[in-house]
């Protein structure tokens, strides 16, 4: 009898899901042209972290058009709206990041970005070189679909439009960490959160994910070196921070190659910026370097941080240079809750096609979605962003001037986020 009952419940769920899928797909198709237009507008009006003023204004305007009451000014420029029809049940949060990058767009598009902003005190071009414009448009479209079927939602949905995923400007707070600090996951308390990221290196229609660690922790650092300035023709009369820096950079690379158990997980230490000196014949007094650490294992992360400081201080001492190490922005590992992952994986396979949903290896890119996942169970996944037939080896990577995402990717994002939400409620998780 129990088996018959369970089979009946399973059959009812499948039937309901199939009916719901048809309705959702119809609504997505009906609003697809509007979703694409919104994406183009956000792309054309890209703004830097904590400066997404026009972006947040447009998000709030669109949420009001849907019928929701947005709350603005969260974590400086963030926007949140809640779908609440008064029915008891869980609270699901959906997140999109909204900021652009200091990159000049080279793509020949009628909706290419010509925006500028100020980064590190300099005027810079700004573009959505990581696809956050698509994330924003997808979440707005998801909000519209869910509002249209709100009678089917036994609970609440919290739509989170998050600024500064790429990191706030120096000296400022921002991003997911600040949103959590300001209580975005409370009042009402969130039970689960879902987020996605576009991938130019995958074909539109594809979904990629894995349980556990999916993206690396990141720790940014600055190394300041102080020597003694002198003429370049007589280096023995000074103390050279440039030579010291070169020794440091080479030694820092041994942290990964000689101190990390790389069969456990990947790790990366990169010096991406070095500043020192103004003339060929002057050895400067000061120099600074900027770098990033990426780890997928917390124990390995602790080892890297410890080894970095030790190497810097010892190399500096050997050269009579004064060294200071400052750790700046840091994100935890982006971690997909294994139980939630297993429960929601069938949803993605059903609505996107089982052949289109694939396991991926963890990557050393980082995401501050991890701050949400530290507080509540969450699943983060990738969707393909390149059109069918593209040579993915030739596609421009993220954070580059030629980065491009095809509009055909949007539909997969909306169906995924909408269906994950509906199924979470329906399954009674």
Angle between helices 410-426 and 338-352 in degrees, nearest 10: 120
pLDDT score of 426: 85
What angle (nearest 5°) sits at the alpha carbon of residue 332, between those of residues 326 and 333?
135
Number of domains in the chain: 2
pLDDT score of 16: 54
pLDDT score of 7: 45
What angle (nearest 5°) sits at the alpha carbon of residue 429, between those of residues 368 and 28?
70
The owner of tokens 């003694």 is 228
Contact between 279 and 244 (Cβ < 8 Å) = no
Cα separation of 72 and 211, whole Å? 33
Q: How is 221-262 classified by DSSP, letter by letter?
A: EEEEEE-B-EETT-GGGSB-HHHHHHHHHHHHTHHHHHHS-T
Q: Do 225 and 272 belong to one domain?
A: yes
Distances (CA, A) of 415 to 151, 198, 220, 281, 307: 18, 14, 35, 61, 45
The owner of tokens 């539909």 is 411
Q: What is the pTM for the complete model shown?
A: 0.90
Contact between 146 and 419 (Cβ < 8 Å) = no
Taking alpha carbons only, the member of 25, 11, 6, 17 closest to residue 346 is 17
Residue 9, in any domain of the structure: no
Q: Do 51 and 91 belong to one domain?
A: yes
Cα separation of 328 and 366, whole Å? 15
Q: Do 327 and 375 belong to one domain?
A: no
Contact between 81 and 70 (Cβ < 8 Å) = yes
Q: Where are the beta strands (DSSP E) in 46-191?
A: 71-74, 78-84, 91-97, 115-119, 122-126, 156-162
Name the strand (E) or helix (H) holding 58: helix 53-66
Q: Do 257 and 200 belong to one domain?
A: no
Residue 383, in any domain of the structure: yes
Q: Do 57 and 194 belong to one domain?
A: yes
What angle (nearest 5°) sits at the alpha carbon of residue 397, between those of residues 395 and 398?
135
Distances (CA, A) of 128 to 41, 132, 143, 388: 11, 6, 22, 22
Q: Which residues does 136 contact at the CB level (< 8 Å), separation at least 6?
A: 38, 39, 42, 55, 59, 96, 97, 98, 161
Q: Do 146 and 242 belong to one domain?
A: no
Taking alpha carbons only, the member of 2, 139, 24 closest to residue 83 is 139
Residue 3, in any domain of the structure: no
Q: Do 359 and 250 belong to one domain?
A: no
Q: Do 62 and 130 belong to one domain?
A: yes
- The three-state secondary structure class of 342 is helix
Cα separation of 378 and 366, whole Å? 15
> Which of the following is catalytic: 99, 191, 367, 411?
99
pLDDT score of 20: 80
Structure tokens belonging to residue 386: 């390149």
Q: Do 52 and 73 belong to one domain?
A: yes
Q: One digit per residue, pLDDT tens: the chain, 429 residues?
A: 544 434 444 444 454 565 589 999 999 999 999 999 999 999 999 999 999 999 999 999 999 999 999 999 999 999 999 999 989 999 999 999 999 999 999 989 999 999 999 998 999 999 999 999 999 999 999 999 999 999 989 999 999 999 999 999 988 999 999 999 999 999 999 999 999 999 999 999 999 999 999 999 999 999 999 999 999 999 999 999 999 999 999 999 999 999 999 999 999 999 999 999 999 999 999 999 999 999 999 999 999 999 999 999 999 999 999 999 999 889 999 999 999 999 999 999 999 999 999 999 999 999 999 999 999 999 999 999 999 999 999 999 999 999 999 999 999 999 999 999 999 998 755
Residue 88, in any domain of the structure: yes
Q: Do 178 and 293 belong to one domain?
A: no
Pairing of strands 212-215, 282-283: unpaired
99 is catalytic: yes
275: domain CATH number is: 3.30.70.360
Domain boundary among 288, 315, 331: 331
Q: What share of the chain is helix, strand, coil (3-state, %, to 5)?
A: 40, 25, 35
Residue 10, in any domain of the structure: no
Put residue 256 in one of left, alpha, beta given phi > 0 → left and psi -120 to 50 → alpha.
alpha
For 238, the domain range is 217-331
CA-based end-to-end distance of the chain:
24
165 is catalytic: yes
> Which of the following is catalytic: 47, 52, 165, 177?
165
Domain boundary among 292, 313, 331: 331
412: domain CATH number is: 3.40.630.10
Residue 404, in any domain of the structure: yes
Tell whether omega for the bond before 188 is within 30 degrees of 0, i.e. cis.
yes
What angle (nearest 5°) sits at the alpha carbon of residue 133, between those of residues 131 and 135?
75
Q: Do 319 and 387 belong to one domain?
A: no
Cα separation of 25 and 233, whole Å? 72
């Amino acid at each position: 009898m129990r088996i018959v009952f369970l089979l009946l419940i399973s059959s009812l769920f499948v039937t309901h899901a199939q009916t719901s899928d048809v309705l959702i797909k119809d609504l997505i198709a009906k609003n697809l042209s509007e979703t694409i237009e919104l994406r183009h507008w956000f792309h054309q009006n890209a703004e830097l972290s904590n400066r997404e003023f026009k972006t947040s204004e447009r998000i709030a305007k669109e949420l009001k058009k849907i019928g929701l009451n947005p709350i603005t000014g969260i974590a400086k420029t963030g926007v949140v709206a809640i779908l609440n029809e008064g029915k008891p049940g869980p609270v699901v949060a959906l997140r999109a990041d909204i900021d652009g990058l200091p990159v000049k767009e080279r793509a020949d598009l009628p909706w290419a970005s010509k925006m500028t902003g100020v980064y590190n005190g300099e005027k810079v071009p700004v573009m959505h070189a990581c696809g956050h414009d698509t994330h924003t448009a997808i979440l707005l479209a998801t909000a519209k679909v869910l509002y249209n079927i709100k009678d089917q939602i036994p609970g609440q949905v919290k739509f989170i439009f998050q600024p500064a995923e790429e990191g706030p400007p120096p000296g400022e707070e921002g991003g997911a960490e600040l949103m959590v600090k300001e209580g975005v996951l409370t009042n009402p308390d969130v039970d689960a959160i879902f987020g996605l990221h576009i991938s130019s290196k995958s074909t539109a229609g594809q979904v990629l994910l894995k349980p556990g660690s999916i993206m690396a922790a990141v720790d940014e650092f600055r190394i300041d070196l102080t020597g003694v300035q002198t003429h370049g023709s007589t280096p023995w009369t000074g103390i050279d921070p440039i030579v010291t820096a070169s020794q440091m950079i080479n030694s820092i690379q041994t942290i990964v190659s000689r101190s990390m158990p790389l069969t456990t997980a990947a790790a990366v230490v990169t010096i991406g910026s070095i500043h020192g000196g103004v003339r060929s014949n002057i050895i400067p007094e000061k120099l600074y370097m900027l770098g990033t650490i990426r780890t997928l294992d917390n124990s390995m992360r602790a080892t890297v941080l410890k080894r970095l400081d030790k190497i810097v201080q010892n190399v500096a001492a050997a050269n009579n240079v004064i060294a200071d190490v400052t750790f700046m922005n840091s994100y935890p590992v982006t971690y997909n809750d294994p139980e939630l992952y297993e429960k929601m994986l069938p949803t993605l396979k059903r609505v996107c096609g089982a052949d289109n949903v694939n396991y991926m290896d963890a990557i050393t890119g980082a995401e501050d979605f991890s701050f949400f996942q530290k507080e509540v169970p969450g699943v983060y996944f990738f969707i393909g962003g390149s059109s069918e037939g593209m040579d993915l080896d030739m596609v421009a990577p993220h954070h580059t001037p030629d980065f491009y995402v095809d509009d055909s990717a949007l539909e997969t994002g909306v169906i995924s986020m909408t269906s994950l939400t509906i199924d979470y409620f329906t399954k009674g998780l």
